[in-house]
A and B are shown apart, each in its own frame.
Chain A
Amino acid sequence: MCTTCGCSGDGATYEGGEHPHHLHGHGAGHEHDHPHPHDHAHPHEAAHANGSLDYGSGPARSHAPGLSQARMVEIERNILSKNDAYAAANRTRFARDGVLALNLLAGPGAGKTTLLVETLKTLAESIPAAVIEGDQQTSHDADRIRATGTPAIQVNTGKGCHLDAHMVGHAVEHLNVAMGGVLFVENVGNLVCPAAFDLGENKRVTLLSVTEGEDKPLKYPDIFEKADMVLLTKTDLLPHLDVNVQALESNVRRVAPLARILHVSTRNGQGMAEWVDWLRAERRAMLDGLAAQAQARADMLRAAE
Chain B
Amino acid sequence: MHEMSLCESLIGVIEESARREGFTKVSRVRVEIGRFAGVELPAMQFGFEVVARGTLAEGAVLDFVDVPGSAWCFDCGQTVTLNNRLDPCPQCGGVRLQPSGGTEIRLKDMEVF
What CA separation (Å) do A222 and B4 show in the bound complex? Answer: 18
A197 to chain B, nearest CB (A): 7
A75 to B109, CA, bound (A): 5
Q: Quick check: A79 and B58 within 8 Å, CB to CB? A: no
Interface string of B48-80 (1 = CB under 8 A from A): 000100111010000000000000001000000
CB distance from B91 to the nearest CB of A (A): 16
A77-B13 contact in complex given A49-B19, A71-B112, C-beta closer than 8 Å: yes
B8 and A1 form a contact (CB under 8 A): yes
Contacting pair A54 B85 (CB below 8 A): no
Which of A70, A162, A195 has the largest number of chain B CB atoms within 10 A?
A70
Interface size class of A (residues with CB under 8 A): 35 or more
B113 touching A65, Cβ below 8 Å? yes
Whether, in the assembled complex, A150 has its beta carbon less than 8 Å from a beta carbon of chain B, the answer is no
Residues on A with C-beta less than 8 A from B4 are 10
Are A257 and B96 in contact, with the CB atoms below 8 A?
Answer: yes
Known A82-B9, A160-B5, A161-B2; judge A192-B38 contact (CB<8 A): yes
- Contact status B5-A162, CB under 8 Å: yes
Q: Looking at the assembled complex, report how far the CB atom of B64 sits from the nearest CB atom of chain A, in whole angstroms.
A: 12
Q: Are B38 and A70 in contact (CB-based, < 8 A)?
A: no
B 21-45 binary contact with A (CB < 8 Å = 1; else 0): 1011101000100001110000000
> Cβ of A72: which chain B residues have Cβ within 8 Å of it?
109-112
Pick from A63, A79, A161, A218: contact of B13, CB below 8 A: A79
B56 interface neighbour in A54, A75, A195, Cβ under 8 Å: A54
- A201 interface hit (Cβ, 8 Å): no
A256: nearest chain-B partner, CB-CB: B98
Q: Do B112 and A58 touch across chains, with their CB atoms under 8 A apart?
A: no
A300 within 8 A of B: no
Give the distance in Å from the alpha carbon of A76 to the alpha carbon of B38 in the complex: 19
- Complex contact A70–B113 (CB within 8 A): yes
Interface SS of B by simple majority: mixed
Output the nearest chain A residue to B6 by Cβ-Cβ distance: A79
Q: Could you tell me the distance in whole angstroms from the C-beta of B34 to the nearest C-beta in chain A?
A: 11
A221 touches B104 (CB 8 A): no
Question: Does A68 sit at the interface, judged by CB under 8 A?
Answer: yes
Min CB distance, B78 to chain A, in Å? 14
Contacting pair B96 A73 (CB below 8 A): no
Q: Which of B1, B96, B98, B108 contacts A193 (CB 8 A)?
A: B1
Say which residue of A10, A46, A77, A162 sits within 8 Å of B107 (CB atoms). Answer: A77
Checking B36, B95, B99, B106 against A254 with a beta-carbon cut-off of 8 angstroms, the contacting residue is B95
The 0/1 profile, CB within 8 Å of B marked 1, for residues 76-97 of chain A is 1111111100000000000000
Q: Please, how many angstroms separate the alpha-carbon atoms of A122 and B18 in the complex? A: 53
Question: Does any Cβ of B come within 8 Å of A7's Cβ?
Answer: yes
Q: A196-B2, A222-B38, A253-B96 are in contact. Are A81 and B113 (CB under 8 A)?
A: no
Q: Is the CB of B55 within 8 A of A55?
A: yes
Q: Which chain A residues in 34-76 approach chain B with CB under 8 Å?
A: 46-47, 49-50, 53-59, 61-63, 65, 68-76
For the complex, what is the distance from the CA of A68 to the CA of B97, rounded to whole Å?
A: 50
Pull 17 A–B residue pairs with CB atoms less than 8 Å apart, ordered by A: A1-B5, A7-B12, A10-B4, A49-B16, A54-B55, A55-B55, A59-B55, A63-B24, A71-B113, A73-B109, A75-B17, A78-B105, A79-B13, A160-B5, A162-B2, A254-B86, A257-B98
10 closest Cβ contacts across the A-B interface? A193-B2, A257-B96, A1-B9, A222-B38, A65-B113, A75-B107, A257-B74, A79-B105, A61-B24, A74-B109
